[in-house]
Amino acid sequence: MNRAAHIPNDIDVERFKPDAGKRFAVRAELGVQESDLLIGLPAWFDLMKDHVNFLTALRRLMDQGKNASCVLVVAGTGQENSMLGELLEARGLQN
């Protein structure tokens, strides 16, 4: 019995392609201006995914005067995650 399976680590570029209408709608829903950076991190909260460096880089962008926001996507990145909350708070990124 084969207990292994290969799960490709790629993105279907036909399914996930730029859509100007959705881009505008998401930015409006999040209150992000068209000229602001909006960065998404589609990764579960795990040391291997390195949210620490991602959030540190975001803080650096903001310290350089960039208007930047991020969206953390995937289970485990919500308000119930106290460790993530502490990382955000330590960098002044609670909002």
Write out 25-94 in H/E/C secondary structure. Answer: HHHHHHCCCCCCEEEEEECCCCHHHCHHHHHHHHHHHHHCCCCEEEEEECCCCCCCCHHHHHHHHHCCCC
Residue in the structure block whose two tokens are 């909002």: 95
Please answer whether residues 20 and 41 qualify as being in contact, where contact means their C-beta atoms are separated by less than 8 angstroms.
no
Tell me the per-residue pLDDT of 26-76, one tens digit each, with 9 for 90 and over.
999 999 999 999 999 988 888 889 999 999 999 999 999 999 999 988 777
**Amino acid making up residue 47:** L
Q: What is the pTM of this model?
A: 0.75
Domain ranges of the chain: 33-90
- Backbone CA torsion sign across 7, 13, 61, 85: negative
